[in-house]
Structure 1
Amino acid sequence: MDRILRRPNEAWLEQLFSAKAVERGGVVRRSVLDVEREIGRERLKAAVLARGFHLVECGGQFIVICNQGHMRVLV
């Protein structure tokens, strides 16, 4: 019954942030096309921001850095 009450794309988002890499403060990535199809850019940005993580887009991929620490781009 809980599944009926949730928006369908929330399960996709929950799966993304339940990855072991997230728990370890690592990195997860998803294709831009998949994100746009499943939840949309703005929903991903909001979810990343709510967790205090960092989001980068490069080469057709979204890279989520699952760490709240200060980030510097070196090159």
Structure 2
Amino acid sequence: RAPETELIGKTDKGHRVSFVRKPLFDKECLHLKRNPEIGDFVEVKIEKSTKASLFGEALAISKLSLFHDVGVDAAVASCAS
């Protein structure tokens, strides 16, 4: 079980991924930061892995269709702007 400071989700391939819970920019409303909620798609940069899990840094709250349409590099760039 994850501590309250950590969230666990799944990649589109079904792999478990953990990341620190923190306020993130929402790509639908870029001036708004909020904590991810159950059901949100979160863009995560993978930093470490084990045989069973992935660990990463959350970048932004997104929609799956937006992430795949724009691409990873553009998504990260728009998040940093």
Fold shared, TM-score > 0.5 on shorter chain: no
Q: Give the TM bin, normalised by the shorter chain.
A: under 0.3
User: Larger relative CO (CA 8 A, sep 6+): 1 or 2?
Assistant: 1
What TM-score do you get using the length of structure 1 for normalisation? Answer: 0.28
More helix by share: 1
What TM-score do you get using the length of structure 2 for normalisation? Answer: 0.26
Higher Rg? 1
